[in-house]
Each structure stands twice: as structure tokens, then as C-alpha cells.
Structure 1
Amino acid sequence: MHQRNHSGPSLHWQSQLLLLIVVPACSIWIFIRVANAWAFHDPVLLQMAAISIVFGLVVWVARAATGYAAATGAIITACLYLRLPGWRTPIIPLIVMLILTLTATRIGRARKEQLGTAEARHGRNAAQVAANLGGAALAAIPLTATQLFAPSSRTAIASLAAISAALAEAAADTLSSELGQVFGGQPLLITTLKPVPVGTDGGVTLAGTAIGCIGAAIVTAVAAMTFRLNVSQGAVIFSSAILGLFADSLFGAVFERRGWLNNDAVNFLSTLVAAIAAGWIVSRHFFE
């Protein structure tokens, strides 16, 4: 929901640290699952490879991401698919989120270029991909051996809720930021509600917020249908995504404007807020 404003090079280390957290964690999880599947000749290996490679190539050919970013996205896609292989996979809401965000990025590009807030024409870089999808990827990784080899319904559904909330928040954030600049008019700083220039970190608009909520609702609905979640669980996912959306703006206004966090760190932390909230609530209140 906060308007895009690229941070200076002094905080580039945060983007690199983010990559060093997300990519190795996903790679280790993939290696463990592949080793286990290989021993049992599980066809999930071919499915994972095909889906992740196609995903990376499509994103790269569409110039939605750089080569390294497409590779990062492919690794995250593999990680998400291995969490729940088959037709009811997290890849479904991921695809919907990507369609929404890529469309929003291209709408009103001329105005965004005038404002200096347009995304680079070569697409997102690897750190931006990790920032937007890393929270969902980490939510897909089992934290204990019990979760890995003997998962319970509690941990499985909580993980799917966390993944869904992270993806819904990422969609909401991008839509509110990209389309808020085009249709939202004068943004207000979330901490003071005073008018600020378009592109100010922590700046929000009513139209942008509404559009972001619609985006979160779409991704939540797709995730709920994909994973066969009930209405209450869907409501938790949506509410958690909106909580992350407001956290994103708050982090932008308080930390990014002061030069303490860059945009990648803010985006990653906001998806984590959404994922943790959804996973915790579903785990605690739906399995009494």
C-alpha cells in the first residue's frame, strides 16, 4: 500500500541478505524432498522440475524479471510445489497473484514514468522476487523433522494458510502501490494523515487501499478453493493479508523513510507479518 520509492545503495546489503536467507533455505528444503522422492521413484520430481522451469522461462521471456530473478522465482516455485504437489498446489494462487501484479505494473506506465516510480523495463531483480515471494516460500518449509516426515493436519493447514496470506499480501501491496499512483490522487502519510508527494514511503490513498483489498480478496478466494478451506479460514487469511498491507505502509513510513530499511526488506517483512498471523491463528483457533 505504500508508494514505491527505490532505496539508495547504502542499504543494498539488506537485499543481498534477503537473498542469502530465502534462496539457501528453499534449496535445502528442495534437496531434502528430492532425496526422499528419489529413493521412492516419486514422479513429483519431474512435475516439480517441469513446473519450476516453465515458470522461470515464462517470467523471463515476458520480461517480468531478469534472468537471475527468474531463476530465483523458479526455486521458490519448486519450494511451494513440493509443499503440496498435485492439482491443489500453492502454485495456483501464486499464478493468480502474478497475473494481478504484472497487470497492475503495466497499467498507467506513462504516468509512473513521469513520476519516476515505474518499474525497470527489464523487470524485477532477484532481491525483489525474494522480497515478494520469500515469505510464502519460508512458510512452505517444515521447521521440524516431525513436520517433514509425519505432518499433522494442524501444521499442514496452518502452513497453507500462511502461504496464502503471504501471497495475498504481496498482491495487495503491489496493486495498491501500482494502481494507487494512477487512480489514487494525493497520498497521505499513514502515520500523520498529512498529504505527501506521490512515491513517498508510507504514503497511502483510499483508492489504492481499496484496490489492494480487492486483490487480496481474489488471491484469498482462489487459495481457499484450491486448498478446500472453509469460510472462517478464508477470513483469517484475508484479514492477515490486510494486516500485512498496513504493516507494509507503517514500516515504510517509520523505517524506510528514515533510511533504516530498504524497500525489499519492507516488502519481505510485511509478507512475514501476514504469514505468521494467518498460520498462528489457524493453528491455535481451528484445532482446539
Structure 2
Amino acid sequence: MQKMEAQKTIPSRRDEQQSAALVWIVTPLLATGAAYAPVHAAARSSSLTPWIMPLLLSAAFAVLVSLLKAATWPAAAIGFLVCTILAQQPGFGALLALVVLFLLTFAATRFGRSKKELQRLAEGRSGRRAAQIVANLGVAALCASMGWYAGCIAALSEAAADTVSSEIGQAVGGQAWLITSLRRVPGGTDGGISVAGTATGVAAAALVVAAGTMHPAFRPDALLIFAAACAGLLFDSVLGATVERIGWLGNDLVNFSSTLFAAMIAVMWLLFRGRIL
């Protein structure tokens, strides 16, 4: 969920400290995950040719999102690490899911922008910050680096669903309800859900799951991953209506927690079944 500054109940200093801690903790893990495979190959005197294309694709993606002002340069640098990890996954399905996520969120963020700016709900024109990239994509990249493909796609799908539901819900307007009490609340309220926002969020999750499970090996788990993403979307709203609403957690930690929740549902279910993809 992306909320306007005036609606935040968390003290700004605490919010900034939480976001900074998230970046400083997760970014080194992402750097390690991105570098591990090529460094390991170099240590064994293996050819580095297989890693050239992922690096080039990741660099191009980072430059593109920065030029489009979809992310700041520090955020684009972290996006490069995420993209490098996802590009190393089999069949490029994770990378395709990331591209679909980017296209969906890019379009949703700009949909009805004038209306959202008047209501002070629009994202800054400089693009997403580093903490937002870590919050939305960090879990997916970490899951991919550990070989938990289903968790990776579930996290990417939840991130797409969350952003699209929030942006479209704010742009379309209409009635919103607090998920914990079903009490009517203004659009943009932490934990508020609307019909338009929820429907478009679920559709976004489905598209990302479809992109990430095109390979026959992953297709049997598509429904599970989709369900995990939808559960993560609901979990995000519950956190928004509770710990975010009372000022304990900022939006970045809520988003990170929601993608983690979606990923862990997928991973734990596959572990229960005795396999992990």
C-alpha cells in the first residue's frame, strides 16, 4: 500500500529508521545472492559466459526504470541486484514475472495520477525509493537465491497485487471498508479495501503468476502460488488496519512482511508436500 504522508500515524523518524534498517539489512544479502553463482563459477575456473546475459539484461532494466523515473538511481541499483538474481533462474520465468510486475505497477501508478495528486495520494515523480524496492522485491529475490521458486513468484505476485489494488482503488475512488471491522473509511486509509482495488489486485496477481509459471515444471503449482499471493494481499490490509494504523510499523515494513507471508505460504505448503520448486 502506498499512502500519502499526511495519513501516516507512525512518527516520521521511526518510519525512516525502519526503512533504512530494511535497506541496510537486505541489500547486502541481495548483493551476495547476485554475486554467488558467477563468483563460484570463477573459483572453479568455469566459463562466465552464462552470466553475461543476466548481467546485461539487469543493467538494461535498471537504466530503463531510472530513465522512466519509475525509481531513483539508488533504487535502480538495488533493482539491478534483484534482476540479476531473477535472471539466473531456470527458463527466465522469474524475470518475465518481474517484467510483468513492472509494467502493471508502472501503468497503475500513472492511472488517474491527476486525481491522486489533488488528493495527495500520488507517488513522487522521482520514482520509488530504495526502501520501496527492497520492501516489494527483496523477499522474491532472496527466495530465488535459495532455490525457492514458488516463494519467489508468490512474493512477486503479492507485490504486484498490493500496488495495483492500492493505485487503482485510489484513482477510481468509491467506497472503501476497513478489513478488520468492515466500517466505511475514506479511500487511501490504511487497511481499507474497495471492490475496484481488490479486483484489479487479484487480476494483477494472476497475470504475474501466469508469467512466472509458464514453464511446465512450475505449472502444477500455479494455483497454489496464486492463492498465496491473494492471502498476502489480505494480510497486507490486516497489517495496515492494525500495526500500521496505530503507528508501530511503517509502510515499507508492512509491504516486506506481506510479501514474506505470501512466499512462506507457498514454501511451507511445498515443504509439507515433500518438495520445493
If the TM-score is normalised by the length of the shorter chain, which range does it land in?
over 0.9
What is the aligned counterpart of 1:78 among 71, 75, 84?
84
Cα deviation, residue 3, structure 1 = 6.0
Q: Per-residue displacement from partner, 1:128-171 (whole Å, max 9, x unpaired)? A: 011110110111122xxxxxxxxxxxxx4xx1111110010011
What is the aligned counterpart of 1:60 among 49, 59, 66?
66
Cα deviation, residue 196, structure 1 = 1.2
Letter in 2 for 1:174: T
Letter in 1 for 2:14: S
Q: CA distance change for structure 1 residues 17 and 3 in 2, over 3 Å: closer, same or farther?
A: closer
Cα deviation, residue 29, structure 1 = 2.1
Q: Which residue of 1 aligns with 2:160?
A: 171
Contact 2:93–2:212, Cα closer than 8 Å, also in 1: no
Contact 1:175–1:215, Cα closer than 8 Å, also in 2: yes
Q: 1:180-259, aligned counterparts within 5 Å? A: 180-226=169-215, 228-231=217-220, 233-259=221-247
Contact 2:62–2:76, Cα closer than 8 Å, also in 1: yes
Structure 1: distance between partners of 2:121 and 2:191: 14
2:48 counterpart of 1:42: yes
Contact 1:3–1:198, Cα closer than 8 Å, also in 2: no
Cα deviation, residue 227, structure 1 = 6.0
Letter in 2 for 1:172: A
SS in 2 for 1:121: coil
Structure 2: distance between partners of 1:74 and 1:269: 22
Q: Which residue of 2 aligns with 1:10?
A: 14
Unaligned stretches of 5+ residues in structure 1:
143-155
Q: Which residue of 1 aligns with 2:268?
A: 280
The alignment's TM-score, normalised by the length of structure 2, stands at 0.92
Q: CA distance change for structure 1 residues 210 and 102 in 2, over 3 Å: closer, same or farther?
A: same
Contact 2:2–2:123, Cα closer than 8 Å, also in 1: no
Structure 2: distance between partners of 1:55 and 1:204: 32
Q: Which residue of 1 aligns with 2:253?
A: 265
Contact 1:92–1:222, Cα closer than 8 Å, also in 2: yes
Q: How many residues align?
A: 269
Letter in 2 for 1:52: S
SS in 2 for 1:90: helix
What is the aligned counterpart of 1:91 among 92, 95, 101?
95
What is the aligned counterpart of 2:112 among 108, 112, 120?
108
Q: CA distance change for structure 1 residues 48 and 259 in 2, over 3 Å: closer, same or farther?
A: same
The alignment's TM-score, normalised by the length of structure 1, stands at 0.89
SS in 2 for 1:236: helix
Cα deviation, residue 197, structure 1 = 1.6
Cα deviation, residue 195, structure 1 = 1.2
Contact 2:61–2:80, Cα closer than 8 Å, also in 1: yes
Percent pairwise identity: 41
Contact 2:108–2:167, Cα closer than 8 Å, also in 1: yes
Structure 1: distance between partners of 2:217 and 2:102: 21
Structure 2: distance between partners of 1:201 and 1:239: 23
Q: Which residue of 2 aligns with 1:149?
A: none
Structure 2: distance between partners of 1:278 and 1:168: 12
Q: Per-residue displacement from partner, 1:187-209 (whole Å, max 9, x unpaired)? A: 11111111112221111101111
Q: CA distance change for structure 1 residues 88 and 45 in 2, over 3 Å: closer, same or farther?
A: closer
Superposed CA RMSD in Å reads: 1.7
SS in 2 for 1:188: strand
Q: Which residue of 1 aligns with 2:121?
A: 117
Q: Which residue of 2 aligns with 1:135?
A: 139
Q: Which residue of 2 aligns with 1:145?
A: none
Q: Per-residue displacement from partner, 1:237-266 (whole Å, max 9, x unpaired)? A: 000000000000001110111110000000
